[in-house]
């Protein structure tokens, strides 16, 4: 009996080893594996490519998983391949939720394994890759077409004055309000700071939570309170300035928390739970981004909700200024651009992906404002959001896209302590500055 | 073998026969405690299965109620987007290989660690414990780099090798802990019989330790099978991706589509439970019917 | 035994080659990183021991350290303790063993993300199970996750989740005890609870030791449950080393500092495992 078990196990082992070996052989001849890294393999690759004109491209994007653009993106790629039969494309996209994409992209770029084209965060996340010269300066690349973009292109300009990424679509953040609840309670919409505070007070007396928020994952809350206290000019300040408006904003969060603006467990819920409060109509307001619309539509409450710009009370500031823009863009890796065998295919694919037609198609899947052209036939509430952007006197990216991540994490995760009175806004800001140094 | 086949009651069986069969109170007490605990453990699984038939909204609002309007939509969505069969297969090839490699290599090492005296033993023991403490987050980047260099990214081996390495210390510790208390007389008897070390391992220690091999095998399988983090980095391509990767693609572990998430969990859990039951049935018997008497 | 050297070498080499290349070597890289201020990829500056100095002065890290140690105490006592009691009980019954073995295993197979969500939905202030029960009883809602309670509230699911794991290991161990040991004991008049302490536990002490080492090392790495249920909060009242390291290394791209925390985890775990080993050494019984 025992012997039988062991021979069974041995057989299994061999079968598995066989399977593994076979599958490796197989994949050796399929596109999965053929973007080889060993030098010799690359040479032979290049040789065969030159001879036959066949090119195999690897594209990395975040359009996968729950991102509704994923499906459209794959269709778009398939169409390109059918029109350019000498090109095969490996779509190595991975949803950004999983948190592994940064690790993967950074390791790829630092291990000589970069993708040919990628759609990635053109924020502090790409800083290292850009500084190492791993991606192409698009303005200097002759055959790259950068025409027809709206202001989102300018927003991609890096601190060294060059543009390394072409935008796809933008987003905006704002104060999402449930109009229906405001009406039912007879409360005025928070179009000014005074009305905003009045609304918090009024809702705090009802069973409805004024603002659904996580004070730990307080990205949007922190940003908007800084904007309200300082207007765009102060909002755009460097962290090192220790702008007093930022500190004032942080202290305002405590002031409003004491007025009963948040749920008692705001320090431990996450963004998803805060969204649930809003979607179940247990909360009247929430600071969020334009991606929330997809969820609101699913909850069948798009019609009841409207998005407002953060009311700004600062001198010199103006209500209507918004946080938003395009934080992701299309990059070309220098290695592929300079590789003669791949150059043409890479450029073609890039120009195709950033053409108005494709940009609008992908944006259509998510309802976000496109970087070229416009979406048509949108529901009124989405239209309102797009209007918000085009009417805005000033648009700036979220704070965490431009400052040192550790410093921002410290700011946002310290909000519960500010709320509990253990720290002041100024103190937290001071500590964050020290982290950046 | 001795004539030890007739009355195969273990001591505990006799013990309980003497004290608990006669004192009903004791027996009832044990059953009550065990049943209470099992209720807490059945609860989450039942929760997952029930919720997988609800839509996301209902999962949050009425998570602890029966589904009012059961829907298969979550499963339909999962099946539509993912090639389930292929990814189950990938999972089994990867995790199955990991289990066999870990048990084979780890079993030999455990035998040496438990039953042989040598100078570096203390140091190696410390190394093993240290490796249990190394977080996967700390090693993933160097491992990914090595896989890129060896050109193994998006092949089964890219996950099999690091999983084997990662689970070996656990296997060696548990199996050697089990082997350490096997009676010395057995070892001596086998030396008398003229067994070499290797034979001693295959003839005596391995069969006696089969239950601990089974236990280790189950957990190694489970961890390898459930490891989303390394899988996303090393084998993200659809052709080789294990089931957790594909399901995380449709349900996004940390996202908000709780409906798909629960359906995905239900689909990943079932094979593991089957694996657990099969392994238990096959090997646990070795514990009571094994040749412990030599 | 003569000629053992060769066998020791043969038996151990494969295992240590694989772990050496794919576990120890990456960790050595991690140790090197702890001397740099780096995002792990492009920007790195050698800063000597600065990360360690920072760790020493970091209040949050200190709180995370003490929380981890406190959690470890609960986990080791209750996880292994409950598992031992359950294993002895299951071993003592004849009917339904299979049922309990299977059901006790359930929580382990469900991913941490799901268990986390489950407990989030139990503790939630407005819609959580506990508060709904209170409201139905006509009582006031209670805030379950406060600065005082949050560590206990994450300790409960952590302990419960892995009891089944130690249960399986210990049950396997108990079942290997040969009957004649008990027979001999019975002849000497050792019965009842005495037997558990004088016989069963000493006979599986090496397995118990393994379990305790696993519990210690496991708790130091705890990440997912805490991260999902409390995000380390409120404040940093339930921050543990695992969550703090993840936050530094992955959310904040401070890989160098994250690596330093990883080194702390390994050194701390080794020390504790060593102490445990020394403490239990005396009690080890060889057959």
**SS3 sequence of C132-156:** HHHHHCCCCCCCCCCCCCHHHHHHH
Q: What is the pLDDT of residues A359-398, one digit of tens each?
A: 999 998 888 889 988 888 888 888 888 888 888 898 888 9
**Count of CB pairs separated by less than 8 Å, A with C:** 85
Q: What is the pLDDT of residues C265-279, one digit of tens each?
A: 999 998 998 888 888
How far is it, in rounded angstroms, from Cα C71 to Cα C151? 8
Per-residue model confidence (pLDDT) at position A34:
37
Per-residue model confidence (pLDDT) at position A26:
40
Chain C CB contacts of B188 below 8 Å: none
With beta carbons less than 8 A apart as the criterion, state whether B15 and C92 touch.
Answer: yes
Per-residue model confidence (pLDDT) at position B285:
52
| Average pLDDT score over residue span B156-180 | 92
Neighbours of A365 (CB within 10 A): 18
Q: What is the pLDDT of residues C165-220, one digit of tens each?
A: 999 889 988 887 777 777 777 777 666 666 677 777 878 888 888 899 889 888 88
Please name every residue paired with A56 in a beta bridge, in sequence order, or none if there are none: A88
pLDDT band at A167 (very low <50, low <70, confident <90, very high): very high
Tell whether C229 is within 8 A of chain A (Cβ).
yes
Per-residue model confidence (pLDDT) at position A283:
94
CA neighbor of C25 nearest in space, from A365, B72, A199, B165? B165
Q: ipTM of the predicted structure?
A: 0.84
* C-alpha distance from residue B104 to each of A156, B43, B54, B182, C207 (Å): 54, 36, 44, 19, 20
How far is it, in rounded angstroms, from Cα C239 to Cα A410? 14
Say which DSSP state B255 is in.
S
How far is it, in rounded angstroms, from Cα B195 to Cα B200? 6
pLDDT band at A165 (very low <50, low <70, confident <90, very high): very high
Per-residue model confidence (pLDDT) at position B294:
31
CATH number of A171-325+377-436: 3.40.190.10
Residues 6+ apart with CB under 8 A from A329: A119, A120, A122, A156, A164, A165, A166, A167, A168
Per-residue model confidence (pLDDT) at position A262:
95
> For chain A, how many residues are written?
437
Structural domain boundaries in chain C: 30-281
Taking CB atoms and an 8 Å limit, are A264 and C143 in contact across chains? Answer: yes
Percentage of the residues of chain A whose pLDDT score is greater than 70: 87
pLDDT band at B14 (very low <50, low <70, confident <90, very high): low
**SS3 sequence of A360-397:** HHHHHHHCCCECCCCCCCCCHHHHHHHHHHHHCCCEEC
Chain C CB contacts of B106 below 8 Å: 15
Domain C30-281 has CATH 3.30.70.260: no
Nearest to C234 among A127, A132, A268 (CB): A268
Burial, B194: exposed, middle or buried (Cβ in 10 Å; 0-12, 13-18, 19+)?
Answer: exposed
Q: What is the pLDDT of residues A323-339, one digit of tens each?
A: 998 889 999 999 999 99
Per-residue model confidence (pLDDT) at position A36:
39
For A169, phi then psi, to 5°, come to -150, 165
Per-residue model confidence (pLDDT) at position A271:
87
Answer whether residue B83 shows pLDDT above 90: no
Neighbours of B95 (CB within 10 A): 26
Q: Enumerate the CATH 3.40.190.10 domain ranges in chain A, comma separated.
A: 55-170+326-366, 171-325+377-436
Percentage of the residues of chain C whose pLDDT score is greater than 70: 94
pLDDT band at C128 (very low <50, low <70, confident <90, very high): confident
Answer whether residue C1 shows pLDDT above 60: no
Q: What is the pLDDT of residues A77-125, one digit of tens each?
A: 999 999 999 999 998 888 776 678 888 898 899 888 899 999 999 988 8
Nearest CA of chain B to the CA of C112: how many Å? 10
What is the DSSP secondary-structure string of A154-192?
A: HHTB-TTS-B--EE-B-EEEEEEEEHHHHHHHT-----S
Per-residue model confidence (pLDDT) at position A123:
86
Answer whether residue A50 shows pLDDT above 50: no
Paired sense of beta strands A171-178 and A305-308, if any: antiparallel
Angle at B26 between CA C105 and CA C197, to 5 degrees: 70
Token representation of residue B281: 């049935």
Per-residue model confidence (pLDDT) at position A213:
94
Per-residue model confidence (pLDDT) at position C279:
81
Chain A CB contacts of C29 below 8 Å: none
Percentage of the residues of chain B whose pLDDT score is greater than 90: 21
How far is it, in rounded angstroms, from Cα B128 to Cα C210? 12
How far is it, in rounded angstroms, from Cα A225 to Cα A257? 13
pLDDT band at B5 (very low <50, low <70, confident <90, very high): very low
Per-residue model confidence (pLDDT) at position A246:
94
Residues 6+ apart with CB under 8 A from B249: A64, A65, A95, B81, B82
Nearest to A128 among C39, C144, C231 (CB): C39
Taking CB atoms and an 8 Å limit, are C124 and A107 in contact across chains? Answer: no
With beta carbons less than 8 A apart as the criterion, state whether C285 and C185 touch.
Answer: no
Pairwise pLDDT comparison (A4 vs C254), residue with the higher score:
C254
Per-residue model confidence (pLDDT) at position A28:
36
Answer whether residue B290 shows pLDDT above 90: no
Taking CB atoms and an 8 Å limit, are B38 and C265 in contact across chains? Answer: no
Pairwise pLDDT comparison (C61 vs C109), residue with the higher score:
C61
For A265, phi then psi, to 5°, come to -100, 25
Answer whether residue A31 shows pLDDT above 50: no
Per-residue model confidence (pLDDT) at position A39:
40
Answer whether residue B253 shows pLDDT above 80: no
Per-residue model confidence (pLDDT) at position A45:
44
Nearest to A267 among C120, C233, C257 (CB): C233
Taking CB atoms and an 8 Å limit, are A100 and B255 in contact across chains? Answer: no
Chain C CB contacts of B7 below 8 Å: none
How far is it, in rounded angstroms, from Cα A189 to Cα C56? 50
Q: Mark out the alpha helices in B134-290 (DSSP H runs).
A: 136-149, 156-180, 184-192, 197-200, 206-226, 228-234, 243-251, 258-283, 285-289
Compare all CA atoms of chain B with the CA of C219 and give the residue at the minimum distance. B133
Answer whether residue B2 shows pLDDT above 60: no
Please name every residue paired with A174 in a beta bridge, in sequence order, or none if there are none: A288
Residues 124-163 of B with CB under 8 A from C: 124, 126-127, 129-135, 137-139, 141-143, 146, 161-162
Please name every residue paired with A333 in a beta bridge, in sequence order, or none if there are none: A135
How far is it, in rounded angstroms, from Cα A45 to Cα A35? 8
| Average pLDDT score over residue span A15-44 | 42
Per-residue model confidence (pLDDT) at position A260:
93
Per-residue model confidence (pLDDT) at position A194:
94
- Which of C33, C109, C198, C287 is most worth mutating to test chain B (most B CB atoms within 10 A of its CB)? C109
Taking CB atoms and an 8 Å limit, are B239 and A32 in contact across chains? Answer: yes
Q: Which of A396-410, B38-52, B176-190, C17-31 has the lowest mean pLDDT?
A: B176-190
Identify how many contiguous H helices and E strands chain B contains and give both numbers.
Answer: 15, 0
Which of 3.90.226.10, 1.20.1260.10, 1.10.3720.10, 1.10.760.10 is the CATH number of B75-289? 1.10.3720.10
Residues 89-108 of A with CB under 8 A from C: 99, 102-103, 106-107
Answer whether residue B173 shows pLDDT above 70: yes
Answer whether residue C285 shows pLDDT above 70: no
CA dihedral B85, B89, B95, B96 (to 10 degrees): 130
**First-residue to last-residue Cα distance in chain A:** 68
Answer whether residue B136 shows pLDDT above 60: yes
Nearest CA of chain C to the CA of A274: how many Å? 11
Answer whether residue B289 shows pLDDT above 60: no
Say which DSSP state A303 is in.
G
pLDDT band at A22 (very low <50, low <70, confident <90, very high): very low
Answer whether residue B254 shows pLDDT above 50: no
Fold of A55-170+326-366: D-Maltodextrin-Binding Protein; domain 2 (3.40.190)
Alpha carbon A70 to its chain centroid, in Å, reads 14
| Average pLDDT score over residue span A259-276 | 89
Pairwise pLDDT comparison (A176 vs A53), residue with the higher score:
A176
Percentage of the residues of chain B whose pLDDT score is greater than 70: 84
């Amino acid at each position: 009996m025992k012997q039988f078990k062991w021979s069974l196990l041995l057989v299994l082992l061999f079968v598995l080893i066989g399977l593994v070996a076979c599958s490796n052989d197989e994949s050796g001849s399929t596109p999965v594996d053929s973007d080889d890294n060993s030098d010799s393999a690359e040479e032979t690759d290049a040789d065969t490519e030159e001879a036959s004109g066949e090119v195999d491209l690897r594209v990395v994007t975040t359009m996968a998983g729950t991102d509704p653009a994923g499906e459209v993106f794959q269709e778009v790629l398939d169409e390109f391949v059918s029109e350019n039969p000498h090109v095969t494309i490996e779509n190595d996209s991975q949803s950004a939720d999983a948190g592994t994409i940064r690790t993967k992209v950074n390791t790829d770029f630092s291990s000589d394994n970069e993708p040919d084209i990628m759609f990635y965060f053109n924020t502090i996340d790409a800083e290292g890759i850009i500084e190492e010269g791993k991606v192409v300066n698009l303005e200097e690349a002759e055959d790259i077409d950068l025409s027809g973009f709206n202001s989102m292109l300018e927003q991609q300009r890096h601190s060294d004055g060059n543009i390394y990424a072409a935008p796809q679509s933008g987003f905006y953040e704002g104060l999402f309000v449930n109009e229906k609840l405001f009406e039912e309670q007879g409360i005025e919409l928070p179009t000014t700071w005074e009305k905003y505070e009045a609304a918090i007070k009024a809702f705090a007396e009802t069973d409805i939570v004024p603002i659904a928020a996580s004070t730990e994952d307080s990205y949007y809350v922190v940003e908007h309170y800084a904007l309200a206290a300082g207007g765009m000019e102060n909002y755009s300040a460097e962290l090192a300035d220790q702008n007093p408006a930022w500190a004032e904003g942080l202290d305002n969060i405590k002031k409003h928390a004491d007025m009963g603006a948040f749920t008692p467990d705001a320090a431990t819920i996450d963004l998803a739970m805060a969204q649930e409060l809003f979607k179940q109509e247990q909360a009247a307001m929430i600071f969020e981004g334009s991606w929330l619309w997809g969820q609101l539509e699913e909850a069948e409450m798009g019609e009841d909700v409207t998005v407002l710009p953060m009311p700004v009370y600062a001198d010199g500031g103006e209500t209507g200024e918004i946080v938003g823009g395009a934080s992701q863009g299309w990059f070309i890796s220098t290695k592929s651009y300079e590789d003669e065998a791949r150059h043409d295919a890479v450029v073609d694919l890039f120009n195709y992906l950033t053409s108005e037609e494709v940009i609008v198609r992908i944006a259509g899947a998510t309802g976000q404002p496109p970087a070229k052209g416009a979406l048509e036939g949108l529901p009124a509430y989405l239209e309102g959001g797009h209007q918000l952007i085009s009417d805005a006197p000033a648009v700036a990216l979220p704070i965490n896209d431009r400052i040192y991540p550790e410093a921002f994490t410290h700011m946002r995760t310290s909000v519960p302590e500010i709320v509990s009175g253990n720290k002041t806004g100024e103190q937290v800001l001071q500590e964050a500055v020290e982290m950046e140094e | 073998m001795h004539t030890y086949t007739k009355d195969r009651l273990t001591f505990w069986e006799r013990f309980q026969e003497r004290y608990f069969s006669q004192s009903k109170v004791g027996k009832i007490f044990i059953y009550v405690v065990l049943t209470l605990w099992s209720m807490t453990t059945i609860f989450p699984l039942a929760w997952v299965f029930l919720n997988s038939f609800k839509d996301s909204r209902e999962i949050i609002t009425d998570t602890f109620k029966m589904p009012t309007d059961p829907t298969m939509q979550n499963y339909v969505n999962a099946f539509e987007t993912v090639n389930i069969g292929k990814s189950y297969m990938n999972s089994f090839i990867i995790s199955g290989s990991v289990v066999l490699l870990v048990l084979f290599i780890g079993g030999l090492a455990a035998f040496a660690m438990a039953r042989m005296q040598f100078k570096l033993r203390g140091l190696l023991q410390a190394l093993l414990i240290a490796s249990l403490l190394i977080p996967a987050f700390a090693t993933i980047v160097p491992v990914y780099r090595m896989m890129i260099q060896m050109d193994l990214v998006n092949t089964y081996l890219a996950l099999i090798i690091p999983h084997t390495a990662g689970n070996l210390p656990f296997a060696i510790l548990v199996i050697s802990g089990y082997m350490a208390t096997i009676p010395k007389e057995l070892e001596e008897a086998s030396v008398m019989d003229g067994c070499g070390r290797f034979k001693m391992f295959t003839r005596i220690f391995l069969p006696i330790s089969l239950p601990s091999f089974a236990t280790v095998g189950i957990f190694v399988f489970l961890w390898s099978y459930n490891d989303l983090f390394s899988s996303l980095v090393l084998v993200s391509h659809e052709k080789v991706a294990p089931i957790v990767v594909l399901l995380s693609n449709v349900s996004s572990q940390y996202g908000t589509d709780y409906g798909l998430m629960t359906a995905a969990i239900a689909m990943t859990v079932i094979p593991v439970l089957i694996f657990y039951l099969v392994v238990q049935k096959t090997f646990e018997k070795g514990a009571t019917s094994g040749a412990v008497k030599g | 035994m003569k000629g053992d050297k060769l066998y020791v070498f043969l038996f151990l080499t494969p295992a240590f080659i694989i772990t050496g290349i794919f576990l120890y070597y990456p960790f050595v890289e991690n140790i090197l990183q702890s001397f740099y201020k780096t995002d792990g990829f492009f920007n790195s500056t050698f800063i000597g021991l600065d990360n360690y100095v920072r760790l020493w002065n970091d209040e949050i890290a200190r709180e995370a350290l003490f929380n981890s140690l406190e959690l470890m105490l609960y986990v080791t006592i209750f996880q292994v303790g409950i598992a031992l009691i359950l294993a002895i009980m299951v071993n003592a019954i004849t009917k339904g063993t299979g049922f309990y073995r299977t059901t006790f295993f359930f929580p382990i197979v469900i991913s941490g993300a799901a268990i986390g969500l489950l407990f989030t939905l139990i503790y939630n202030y407005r819609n959580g199970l506990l508060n709904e029960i209170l409201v139905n009883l006509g009582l006031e809602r209670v805030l379950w996750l406060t600065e005082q309670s949050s560590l206990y509230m994450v300790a409960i699911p952590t302990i419960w989740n892995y009891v089944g794991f130690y249960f399986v290991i210990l049950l396997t161990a108990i079942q290997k005890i040969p009957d004649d040991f008990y027979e001999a004991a019975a002849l000497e008049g050792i019965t009842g609870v005495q037997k558990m302490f004088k016989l069963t536990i000493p006979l599986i002490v090496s397995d118990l030791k393994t379990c305790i080492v696993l519990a210690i090392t496991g708790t130091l790495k705890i990440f997912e449950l805490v991260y999902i249920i409390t995000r380390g909060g409120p404040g940093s009242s339930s921050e543990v080393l695992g969550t703090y390291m993840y936050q530094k290394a992955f959310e904040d791209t401070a890989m160098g500092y994250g690596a330093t925390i990883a080194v702390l985890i390994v050194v701390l775990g080794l020390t504790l495992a060593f102490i445990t080993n020394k403490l239990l050494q005396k009690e080890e019984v060889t057959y």
